[in-house]
Chains A and B, each alone.
Chain A
């Protein structure tokens, strides 16, 4: 095997470029490592990220650490007593079929930005402890995302509002539902008389048929009132664009599995924030299994790395605003060749964009157009939702011209309201409020006082409304300004209904009664209208037509979907699109500071800030920067260098005189001159995790809404950036385990052996390439194998071709296995506890890198290095090949972690569950809010305490809980019966677990594939996890 590394990048700007150019790695973990910056070398010298000492008790880090989930040290244990008396409290009447101490699953659905995803919620003795996708739901197919996985923690958040409150002077005082009901009744009585004059409602986007019907009845009862829908991340580009192309707004649906060539124009169509994103991810990766069928080819033109971009075969980084010209260019190229129908008209006038003349861009677009035309009816072009209407109009025109309609692209009609801009509507409302024209305002969910663009001073205007009611899960920024705050019920606490993007209706079923007595938006609205206020009855009445009899309703609740409720697919006719004008910015190449583009994206963790108080999601490392507990401004390598910024510098971002301070992240792969910032940070009234002013919990991250404007809420030019120098250490998990020069050389040599890949052509010629990449001599063991592996032999296969790096598996693992949250300071010190990590490697030139993800659970080695060094037998080999971790034996030597070549073992430096979360299930406490937090624990998994090592167990509790009933029933375990938590949630089916001794099992057949390889197999560890090498499908023209 040739061990010499190919030199891909020769950048003269890096400090050691001259002498080390030849040693530049092909793959690299981070820029700091690649460039060997002084900071990085310093970190290497120190061995540990921070000196090993306890934080001083009053350091801000220490304080945050204590408060992450509201620590309480008042829990004196009763450990001294001889008999700790446990009580058993049986139900007085046990319902039929309920077995105490077992789990059952119920179908429900969660709505986000007007799109629902069907879920299965797991209930243990009446409390939800986990959610997963509903396999019957067309847009879940069993998968779920970080948002869904994290949502279950939100139910038990002690910071949720637990009482009605009323404004009193400058503060707020606790009130109750009776007082609120009386006040609202009196107010609405007045309004009925004047037909709703001065009455306004702001609601989140919702697809709920029951809610929409209530809205109609509301508007009928108060004809002079207005109902405004506002969602901070609500877009209207696609609806307006399809209206331009087809005359009417349409929704667009895709069948990626059928497509051969796919082009994304800044669309992260596999993201959970994209409607139907999880099903798109499944479809896209289904077409990327090179073993048996032809692979699809994915081109992505985007402004910053996304999951879609990371999966792509060819990627071009352009600013978001440049894509309009790209769309026009492609429309030109395609309409000239495609057999256009007469009414479609000719293409657009040729755009005079200077960057399109760039040889590289021209070559790229030329090859894309050619490839699309060669795959008529088998291609898909997708535009990002944040793109303007013109781009969407052209994209749909291209799809129609390419004959994709009805084959890979489908349309359903959208409501006429969809073309309206949410921010414009809110701005108009805010102006009315500020002018004193609004006397009564109901804010149903949402948090516009925080997430409205900066030119919409909703919070200040809300103060002027005489009678305002805010329904919310938290007493947050918006509630502070409202005269009444009413606690809302979580989706797992209320009845409701919601539609998937394709229209499929799901019934939202509660798993638990509202813990804080909250009301759902449905119930509150119905009560205000004087209707039956029970959610279940409202939903039943709404679906009487379709689900008239009880049996059918129960079936719909049980299945989680109403069969046949999807919208009808239509084949709209193209209408001519007027020539599209391109502004100067949209056609210009480079931009300078002061004119930079800033792009506001939904945070993959906290979305628009609604999950800011969710510690699981805050701690999750972001897919690309691997940053937890913060947001950053993502700069391309060239832009950052030109401006003189490095990672971690605190930058002041200025747009139109408004500023926000956000740390700099140098993100290889970003478009030059384009800066990506995630929304959802800098919450001032989130809670003890996300930040609360007036306490010492400072907000996490910077609020990018402060520099957003309502006319360009998703990207805009005119950004000026200045640096304030280095800031605090970011909780970044990517440079952890930095090593000295020998180690680095070793890493550089080994990285291509970790993530093995080949182009499709090479794979066809040499299918075993991955296996032969490293010479694996036949090695003898030092001792006899402890077990023979008769019976079950658990193993896992992870397909690198399918992993999109979404990290849903990481949060699913955290929820399943009671993994503690350690807080920002501890993450920065390398003490993160997540059992499963998704490694991110860049490849090639830092200016145009490719990106590779590699999920890394415990490899469950057969010849495990960890087992051999444990002095107390706390990690032992099971007969089924698991490396069992026995917490009650562990004395915390950490030898096992030291000896683990994969670094998948995690050590409890503190009793995180008590110190950070405040409780374990076994801690006696009388504090009801502490008790509440303990309810999210999975009772099937031991909660670990200080001083013990822990690691991925292959979800041994799931194995045992499947094995025992199977044995009881004298039957074998079927393949697929046991799914690990990470596998179950994976949108792309990249993780497959099963029994290797069952020759027909999926995992056995996957591990037998030619491209399967063992990670570091040459150590003779015999890992039970095998990776399937990544196969790319490059276009020979662009190679």
Chain B
């Protein structure tokens, strides 16, 4: 009876196993680090809305200012989703019988709200205030990306705490004159956003706090 002998190449498995076991933790950490970070889990969230409203059409092609609909953005924490009545300002005249707009017309007739699905959803213990950012010259595009190019809105930035703090610690690249906040294509005059931001920061006394209670109450 011949004895079973592992073939010679089997000796390599030990090294391979060693290599695998030593790199596995790094891989797992890397996987969790990247895979569970908001960059991966949250960016790209694009729920389907009850009305196929296109920002690309309204804000992009037609150039309607963000504040026509989101008119509380300079006054309040929330950039309120517009009431149905705002849609009907135009859509009582144009596309009055479009089937896509049926939920809007139903809502206007019944008084029941259109049930929009929240895209940019912060944790409940985070208190973000739109007015504090917009009046300071942080453009919509800084957090929401090119909404004017989105057929259906998706989350483009991670909205994680680290991402918020990056800007709170170094706001310059994201500052612009407050008249330009809704401009999706604004560029710093001389192309140097950093230097222009530093100038605006000094002029407008912008010192973003990084205290816990700035956002958490």
Contact = CB atoms under 8 A, between A and B. Distances in A.
Interface stretch (A1-9, A66-74, A501-509, A961-969): A961-969
B216 A87 contact: no
A94 B135 CA distance: 23
Given A940-B127, A957-B217, A878 B80 contact: no
For B74, B78, B212, the residue with the greatest tally of chain A CB atoms inside 10 Å of its CB is B212
Given A86-B117, A887-B125, A941-B217, A92 B211 contact: no
Given A92-B113, A99-B75, A83 B47 contact: yes
Interface in A867-887: 876, 878-880, 882, 884-887
Contacts of B166: none
Interface string A926-965: 0000000000000011110000000001001101100011
Interface in A374-433: none
Interface in B26-47: 41, 45, 47
A6 B171 CA distance: 62
A942 B216 contact: yes
Interface in B75-132: 75-78, 80-85, 107-108, 110-118, 121, 123-125, 127, 129, 131-132
Contacts of A94: 80, 83, 85
Contacts of A885: 212
A703 B129 CA distance: 50
B118 A968 contact: no
Given A86-B117, A87-B118, A956-B213, A968 B131 contact: yes
A82 B41 contact: yes
A84 B114 CA distance: 19
B211 A91 contact: no
Interface string A85-129: 111111111100001111000000000000000000000000000
Contacts of B110: 92
A90 B213 contact: no
The interface residues of chain B, by DSSP majority, are classed as loop
A250 B91 CA distance: 66
A899 B29 CA distance: 35
Contacts of B131: 964-965, 968
B132 A968 contact: yes
Nearest to B85: A93
B217 A956 contact: yes
Nearest to B112: A92
B74 A968 contact: yes
A90 B131 CA distance: 19
A951 to B, nearest CB: 13
A496 interface: no
B82 A90 contact: yes
Nearest to B108: A92
For B45, B47, B217, the residue with the greatest tally of chain A CB atoms inside 10 Å of its CB is B217
For A84, A878, A953, the residue with the greatest tally of chain B CB atoms inside 10 Å of its CB is A878
Contacts of A922: 124
Contact of A101 (B77, B113, B132): B77
A669 interface: no
B63 interface: no
A781 interface: no
For B121, B135, B211, B214, the residue with the greatest tally of chain A CB atoms inside 10 Å of its CB is B211
A86 B216 contact: no
B116 A90 contact: yes
B72 interface: yes
A921 interface: yes
A86 B72 CA distance: 20
Nearest to B211: A878
A807 to B, nearest CB: 24
A960 B127 contact: yes
A84 B123 CA distance: 11
A339 interface: no
Contacts of A887: 125, 216
A886 B215 CA distance: 10
B217 A91 contact: no
Nearest to B42: A83
Nearest to B77: A101
Contacts of B18: none
A237 to B, nearest CB: 49
A84 B81 CA distance: 19
Contacts of A942: 124-125, 216-217
Nearest to A880: B211
A99 B213 contact: no
B159 to A, nearest CB: 14
A87 B116 contact: yes
A64 B209 CA distance: 45
Given A92-B85, A92-B107, A940 B115 contact: no
Contacts of A965: 131
Interface residues of A, number: 42
Contacts of A957: 127, 217
Contacts of A968: 74-75, 131-132, 135
Contacts of A92: 83-85, 107-108, 110-113
Contacts of B81: 88, 90
A788 interface: no
B7 to A, nearest CB: 46
A695 interface: no
Nearest to B115: A87
A467 B47 CA distance: 59
B211 to A, nearest CB: 4
A170 interface: no
A86 B122 CA distance: 10
B201 to A, nearest CB: 14
B84 to A, nearest CB: 4
Contact of B212 (A89, A91, A878): A878
Given A102-B77, A886-B216, A887-B125, A86 B118 contact: yes
B114 A964 contact: no
A888 interface: yes
A835 B123 CA distance: 24
A91 B132 contact: no
Given A921-B124, A964-B132, A888 B117 contact: no
Contact of A99 (B76, B84, B108, B121): B76
Contacts of B107: 92
A88 B72 CA distance: 15
Contacts of B118: 85-88
Interface string A531-555: 0000000000000000000000000
A960 B114 CA distance: 31
Contact of A953 (B82, B129, B213): B213
Nearest to B45: A83
A100 B80 contact: yes
Nearest to A969: B135
B56 to A, nearest CB: 20
Nearest to A877: B211
A89 B135 CA distance: 26
Given A953-B217, A964-B131, A888 B77 contact: no
A884 B216 contact: yes
Contacts of B85: 92-94
B72 A100 contact: yes
Given A86-B118, A90-B114, A957-B217, A102 B76 contact: yes
A878 B80 CA distance: 30
Contacts of B84: 90-93
> Which 7 pairs between the two chains have the least Cβ-Cβ distance?
A878-B211, A884-B212, A89-B113, A101-B78, A86-B118, A92-B84, A94-B83
27 contacts: A84-B121, A85-B117, A88-B118, A89-B114, A90-B81, A90-B84, A90-B116, A92-B84, A92-B85, A99-B75, A101-B72, A101-B77, A102-B77, A876-B211, A876-B212, A878-B212, A884-B212, A884-B216, A886-B212, A887-B216, A888-B216, A922-B124, A942-B124, A942-B125, A957-B217, A964-B77, A968-B75
Interface of A: 82-94, 99-102, 876, 878-880, 882, 884-888, 921-922, 940-943, 953, 956-957, 959-960, 964-965, 967-968
Given A882-B211, A921-B124, A943-B124, 6 more contacts: A88-B117, A93-B84, A99-B72, A876-B212, A884-B213, A968-B74
